[in-house]
Structure 1
Amino acid sequence: MVNLDGLRVAVTGAGRASGRLLATAFAEHGAQVFVSARDEVAARRTTDSIRQRGRGRGEAFVCDLTSPDSVRAFAAALTDRTDHLDVLVNNGAGYLHGVDLGDVEDDHIIATIGGTATGTVLLTKHLLALLRASTRPDIVNMISACGEVGHHRSEAHPAFYAAKHAQAGFAEIMSHRLRVEGIRVISLFPPDFVQHGPRVASNNLTAQSVVDCVLFAVSQPRDCFIREFRFE
């Protein structure tokens, strides 16, 4: 069984769906989870769920990844509450539908690319000191198969593809540059997946399977640098 007792973990976009599942899974394995979401009520619902399950701990924060001020405020709040951070999960990203480039308004394109790409870069930047203070730091990036070169199978908007390619490029260079410090940068490239369903070969990938990959990666010994998970 995965034992993450006492680890301090920050998860963005943890107010719903797979982000909430990630946060509660870390807590169930003993972690103290800093739960962030654009909506404070949604973040508190996640921490309520963590409390009801009764093992790890959760604390709710507001973090709108499309707003640099909000990102900096979240990082400052964590710095006030802890002297180190063991795991940062860059999960927050707004999915954008639309096959045609003109299917969405400009402000939605700006928010999608800004929140996913710029938001990930800024939050990692402002939490890097806390990660460097950990004895076992990991950065986990929930990217998407849309960030893979040559992937064309999603119905996501081209701006979402652009955002995920930017996030993937950032993750790759940070993996290379931070490895010498013992900071593991782990990226996942799941295809469009379902929140619930039977976990069998003939069905779509489930959120729980993606979460299990994350837990597996961060629980490995420190000589094990798993850089990427790619899925069929």
Structure 2
Amino acid sequence: MPNFSLIGKRALVTGASRGIGQSLAIALAESGAQVICASSKEGGCSQTVALINELKQQKAEQLFADLSDMQAVQKLADDALAIFGGIDILVNNGGTIFRSPAVDFPMSEWQKVLTVNVDSAFLLSQQIGKTMINQGSGKIINTASMLSYSGGVTVPSYTASKHAIAGLTKALANEWGQFNIQVNGIAPGYIRTDNTQALQDDQQRSKDICNRIPAGRWGETEDLKGAAVFLASEASNYVNGHILAVDGGFLAR
């Protein structure tokens, strides 16, 4: 049986205050990892930490950082490494989105989305990746998107950022695979979160989405737990540079 246990592993999950990030953090803890939950505001992950502590298996910690501020991101990396003396699993999940037709898209919002979604993921991967190289092992999981494959509508910066995340995942896998570091991505399908609330509220759009998904339903954040544990565990030691779609079959249709 492949080893899916994360006992003894140390993890950092960004964007862990709610939604997908919260589910991913809880999944890692349920499998035995010590988890540092990070969000953009001080105390933002209090609920996630409380839910993990209820498991009575691990005690979670929390940090915060504005992912649009690279100095804050650097401090997040340093603080996370100090808490447990290293990081074995990095989940770059924190991100943002802005909706506007391309012709009117504010340049300031374009830059913010790219900075939060891509720059922070690279810097965290770079700084924590250095320590993974030294320890001879590590897992980095980036949150991609269905918009890593397609263009979407009125979300040009988000689409660009998620294409970039897919490319960054492959680039880091190419460089760091030799050090027993696996860098992969999870591309969630249409999941019920704050980010997709506008689509959920549009009855016709929501119906069209469900009609395209072979599973016939929106995904729940819990549907991503298994993929996260797989990519964080020894079970995926020969999986590298891969974007794993968890989409109910959306891409197949």
TM-score normalized by structure 2? 0.81
The superposition leaves residues 99-127 of structure 1 with CA deviations (integer Å, 9 ceiling, x where unpaired) of x1245533322211110111111111111
Please tell me the residue identity of whatever aligns with 1:48.
A
Contact 2:98 2:158 in 1 (8 A): yes
Partner in structure 2 of residue 71 of structure 1: 73
Pair 1:106–1:203, CA change in 2 (3 A): same
Contact 2:29 2:52 in 1 (8 A): yes
Quick check: 130-139 or 175-184, which moved more? 130-139
CA distance, structure 1, for counterparts of residue 90 and residue 168 of structure 2: 15
CA distance, structure 2, for counterparts of residue 189 and residue 5 of structure 1: 25
1:201 aligned onto 2:181: no
Contact 1:146 1:191 in 2 (8 A): no
1:171 aligned onto 2:169: yes
1:61 aligned onto 2:75: no
Quick check: 214-223 or 69-78, which moved more? 214-223
Partner in structure 1 of residue 201 of structure 2: none
Higher helix residue share: 2
Structure number with higher relative contact order (C-alpha < 8 Å, ≥ 6 residues apart): 2
1:215 aligned onto 2:244: no
1:84 aligned onto 2:99: no
CA distance, structure 2, for counterparts of residue 172 and residue 156 of structure 1: 27
Percent identity between matched residues is: 23
CA distance, structure 2, for counterparts of residue 3 and residue 220 of structure 1: 8
Contact 1:84 1:132 in 2 (8 A): no
1:22 aligned onto 2:37: no
Q: What SS does structure 2 have at the residue aligned with 1:53?
A: coil
Q: CA deviation at 1:223?
A: 4.3
Q: What SS does structure 1 have at the residue aligned with 2:98?
A: coil
Unaligned runs of 5+ in 1: none
Structure 1: 4+ residue segments shifted above 6 A: none
Contact 2:17 2:48 in 1 (8 A): yes
Q: What SS does structure 2 have at the residue aligned with 1:57?
A: coil
Partner in structure 1 of residue 185 of structure 2: 187
Pair 1:157–1:30, CA change in 2 (3 A): same
Please tell me the residue identity of whatever aligns with 1:51.
N
Unaligned runs of 5+ in 2: 194-213
Contact 1:29 1:55 in 2 (8 A): no
Contact 2:170 2:184 in 1 (8 A): no
CA distance, structure 2, for counterparts of residue 205 and residue 222 of structure 1: 23
How many residues of Structure 1 are paired with residues of Structure 2 in the alignment? Answer: 225
CA distance, structure 1, for counterparts of residue 146 and residue 27 of structure 2: 23
Contact 1:29 1:56 in 2 (8 A): no
Q: CA deviation at 1:222?
A: 6.1
1:125 aligned onto 2:139: no
Pair 1:156–1:137, CA change in 2 (3 A): farther
Quick check: 215-224 or 33-42, which moved more? 215-224
Q: What SS does structure 1 have at the residue aligned with 2:85?
A: coil
CA distance, structure 2, for counterparts of residue 103 and residue 53 of structure 1: 47
RMSD: 2.2
Alignment of 1:21-60 (within 5 A): 21-60=23-62
Q: CA deviation at 1:158?
A: 0.6
